[in-house]
């Protein structure tokens, strides 16, 4: 995307950890707690310093693939956020639809995406390997590959035990958590790890409430990676934050904002939808008017977004700016309900850019608005949007390149991926391109081979990074 959206890999990890926590129905900070506990388990297991550091990193990123599997869990459990929270706490209701067979493809997608994220971040082979086998069990009955014995990275067990200790203690209390981990000893994780952990569990849990230690990661990465991972939750949203960021940045330049504010606005735009991870897919995919409770959930998106400021101090300014994306001049916006006097030019530009970009994009329940219709709709809401900000946004949008490059794919392959990757079914892609579903499958096989991936979410992550979507 843009070279000035780079952040440290450590900050990207922290942001991805927070988004993963929200997507899995966990409180922000859960993954940091598990990272500290996993380091304790690894250290008590005699792991070397680099293996202890790997356990911490894997714990921070273990839910980084969770947005990619949100649609699948939504289909099985209804509420992908609350359902997965209940799954981790072993509180799924009787008669739930989650089974080994239907969890297998989801586990494969989760691990593929998490492993690809690790590679993008430049993490070690050990960290990447553990993330690609997150759900393997000591018994050989885990996922995604049913590895057994020494074939499972020890880090997987360190993180799994730490995660269960944190979630189960919070849900049921420490005695119950120890009973459950005791029953899982020798099955989910090696029995000796549970024996090592049990006498220290209370002290370890108490110690992770202290300020978290640093988890150093070398290098830099585009902040767009965080936006791309988030948007895997809703395939039709792919690339939305990138487009908002490009338009907001250029609109800020046209409006005469200083270069530093242009940069901050661009980065805030990449983060403005982070809170969507906490809201179930069924809310976002519902056509028509939302119920009152669902509207209240949506209004909390910027609240969850601003929580990034607590977890990633280096991005605090951007997170606070991002949380103004849905404020309106007349006070009808959310989550604070601010009015014009409290909204800066950057706030107004971000709000206009997000609204314009959403109107111009297709949604499962409507076609995209043409530019004239989108302009008229925003103009009709003059009391809610700043007129100058809207004019700058429209001018900036008109300057964006109209075409996207195919990169390593043919033009037809790129078109297939754009349609299929953003949520169209095989039949709809075939109909739109006037080819057979068999031809679509053949194109997808070639696309996956070219991009080195095995699933739609992994392909979309790579396509976004390459500028194909």
Q: Are 112 and 453 in contact (CB under 8 A)?
A: yes
Q: pLDDT band for 215, please (50, 70, 90 cuts).
A: confident
Q: In the predicted model, is pLDDT for residue 347 greater than 80?
A: yes
Average pLDDT, the chain: 95
Q: In the predicted model, is pLDDT for residue 416 greater than 90?
A: yes
Given this model, what pLDDT does residue 350 score? 98
pTM for the model: 0.96
Q: What is the mean pLDDT of residues 261-267?
A: 97
Q: In the predicted model, is pLDDT for residue 1 greater than 60?
A: no
Q: Are 57 and 217 in contact (CB under 8 A)?
A: yes
Cα–Cα dist 215/11, whole Å: 10
Given this model, what pLDDT does residue 399 score? 93
Cα–Cα dist 401/399, whole Å: 6
Max mean pLDDT range (45-54, 207-216, 394-403): 45-54
Q: pLDDT band for 364, please (50, 70, 90 cuts).
A: confident
Q: pLDDT band for 243, please (50, 70, 90 cuts).
A: very high
Q: Are 249 and 2 in contact (CB under 8 A)?
A: yes
Cα–Cα dist 205/263, whole Å: 40
Q: pLDDT band for 184, please (50, 70, 90 cuts).
A: very high
List Cβ<8 Å contacts ≥24 apart for 170-176: 170/89, 171/89, 171/90, 171/91, 172/89, 174/201, 174/202, 174/205
Tell me the CA distances in angstroms from 80 to 276, 291, 296, one per residue in order. Answer: 12, 18, 18
Q: In the predicted model, is pLDDT for residue 469 greater than 90?
A: no
Cα–Cα dist 467/409, whole Å: 12
Q: Tokens standing for 436?
A: 């057979």
Q: What is the mean pLDDT of residues 440-446?
A: 97
Q: pLDDT band for 211, please (50, 70, 90 cuts).
A: low
Given this model, what pLDDT does residue 404 score? 72
A 10 A CB-CB count for 312 gives: 24
Q: Are 21 and 63 in contact (CB under 8 A)?
A: yes
């Amino acid at each position: 995307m843009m070279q000035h959206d780079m952040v440290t890999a450590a900050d990207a990890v922290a942001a991805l950890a927070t988004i993963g926590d929200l997507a899995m129905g966990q409180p922000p900070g859960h993954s940091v707690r598990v990272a500290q506990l996993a380091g304790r388990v690894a250290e008590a297991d005699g792991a070397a310093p680099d293996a202890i550091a790997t356990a911490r990193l894997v714990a921070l990123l273990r839910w980084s693939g969770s947005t990619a599997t949100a649609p699948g869990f939504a289909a099985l459990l209804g509420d992908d956020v609350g359902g997965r929270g209940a799954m981790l706490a072993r509180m799924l209701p009787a008669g739930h639809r989650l089974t080994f067979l239907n969890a297998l493809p989801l586990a494969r997608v989760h691990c593929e995406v998490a492993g690809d994220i690790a590679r993008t971040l430049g993490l070690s082979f050990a960290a990447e390997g553990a993330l690609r086998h997150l759900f393997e069990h000591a018994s050989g009955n885990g996922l995604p590959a049913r590895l057994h014995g020494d074939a499972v990275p020890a880090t997987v067990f360190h993180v799994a035990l730490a995660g269960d200790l944190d979630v189960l203690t919070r849900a049921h209390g420490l005695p119950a958590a120890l009973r459950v981990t005791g029953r899982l000893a020798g099955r989910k994780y090696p029995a000796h790890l549970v024996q090592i952990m049990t006498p220290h569990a209370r002290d370890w849990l108490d110690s992770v409430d202290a300020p978290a230690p640093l988890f150093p990661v070398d290098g830099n990465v585009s902040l767009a990676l965080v936006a791309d991972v988030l948007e895997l939750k809703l395939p039709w949203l792919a690339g939305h934050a990138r487009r908002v960021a490009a338009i907001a940045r250029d609109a800020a330049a046209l409006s005469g904002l200083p270069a530093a504010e242009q940069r901050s606005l661009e980065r805030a735009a990449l983060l403005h939808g982070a809170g969507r991870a906490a809201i179930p897919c069924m809310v976002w995919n519902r056509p028509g008017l939302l119920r009152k409770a669902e509207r209240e959930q949506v209004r909390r998106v910027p609240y969850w977004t601003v929580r990034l400021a607590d977890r990633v101090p280096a991005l605090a300014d951007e997170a606070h700016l991002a949380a103004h994306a849905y404020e309106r001049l007349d006070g009808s916006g959310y989550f604070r309900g601010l009015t014009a006097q409290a909204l800066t030019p950057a706030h107004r530009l971000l709000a206009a850019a997000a609204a314009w970009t959403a109107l111009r994009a297709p949604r499962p329940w409507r076609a995209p608005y043409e530019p004239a219709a989108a302009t008229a709709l925003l103009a009709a809401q003059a009391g809610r949007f700043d007129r100058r900000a809207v004019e700058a946004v429209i001018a900036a949008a008109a300057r964006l390149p109209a075409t996207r490059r195919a990169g390593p794919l043919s033009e037809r392959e790129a078109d297939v991926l754009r349609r299929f990757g953003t949520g169209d079914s095989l039949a709809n892609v075939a109909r739109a391109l006037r080819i057979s579903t068999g031809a679509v499958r053949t194109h997808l096989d070639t696309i996956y081979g070219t991009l080195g991936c095995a699933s739609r979410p992994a392909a979309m992550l790579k396509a976004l990074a390459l500028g194909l979507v």
